[in-house]
Amino acid sequence: MTADRTPSQVIADMRRWLERAVIGLNLCPFAKAVHVKGQVHYALSDGDDFAPVLADLEAQVDALLALPAGERDTTLLMVPRGFDDFLLFNELVRAGERLLARKGLEGTLQLASFHPQFVFAGAGEDDIANCSNRSPWPTLHLLREASIDRAVAAFPQAEAIYEANVRTLERLGPEGWQALQAGSA
C-alpha cells in the first residue's frame, strides 16, 4: 500500500467515491442498484508492476465468473502502488484487455478503468469532464457484459450519459468536485 493508507482505508476511499460521486452525482445510472444490493466487490492489488497486477486481475476475473451475478456483479480492483502515472496505467489497462481476450472473455467481461489523473483523449488536464473517470486510486473495473446489456436496455439513451455527466460536472465546477471529497480533481 502507500505509506499513508492501509488497505481498509483504500477501500473506504473507493466506497466514498462510489457513493458520493458515481452514485451521488448519478454519473453512472447503473451503479446504484448493484451497490445497494451489495454486488460490488472491492479488491486490492499489492503489486507495483505489470506481472503481479495482471496476476491479481486474472484471479479477480476467475473469482467474478465463479459467482452468479446476483451475488457479485462487478469488481473494482484498486492498484494503489506503482501506477500513479496515467499513461503507464493506460498501458496496464491495455494489457488487462489483452488478458481478457486471451482468456476468450470478449463478450463476457469488459474492462473499464478509473484513475486520479484521468484525462479524456483530446481534453485538457483541467477539463472538469475528466472528473467523471477520476477516482481516488488507479482502478481496473471488471463488468459483466450481460449486466451492461440489461442496464442499457433499461436506459435506452445510454449514449447520452456522457453529455449529462459533462453538464453535471460543469454545474458543480472544480470547487464543488473538491467539496465532495470523493477523489482527485
Q: Residue 129's pLDDT band (boundaries 50, 70, 90)? A: very high
- CA distances to 3, 64, 157, 167 from 161, in Å: 36, 26, 7, 10
- Element holding 129 (H helix, E strand): none
In percent, the amount of the chain with pLDDT more than 70 equals 97
pLDDT in tens, 151-173: 888 877 777 888 999 999 999 99
Strand order across the 139-144 sheet: 40-44, 74-78, 139-144, 109-114
Over the stretch 50-68, which tens digit does the pLDDT of each residue have? 999 999 999 999 999 999 9
Q: Is residue 184 very low, low, confident or very high in pLDDT (cuts 50, 70, 90)?
A: very low
Q: If you average pLDDT over every residue of the chain, what do you get?
A: 93
Q: Are 78 and 139 in contact (CB under 8 A)?
A: yes
Q: What pLDDT shows up at residue 183?
A: 60
Q: How confident is the model at residue 141 (pLDDT cuts 50, 70, 90)?
A: very high
137/184 Cα distance (integer angstroms): 9
| pTM, two decimal places | 0.94
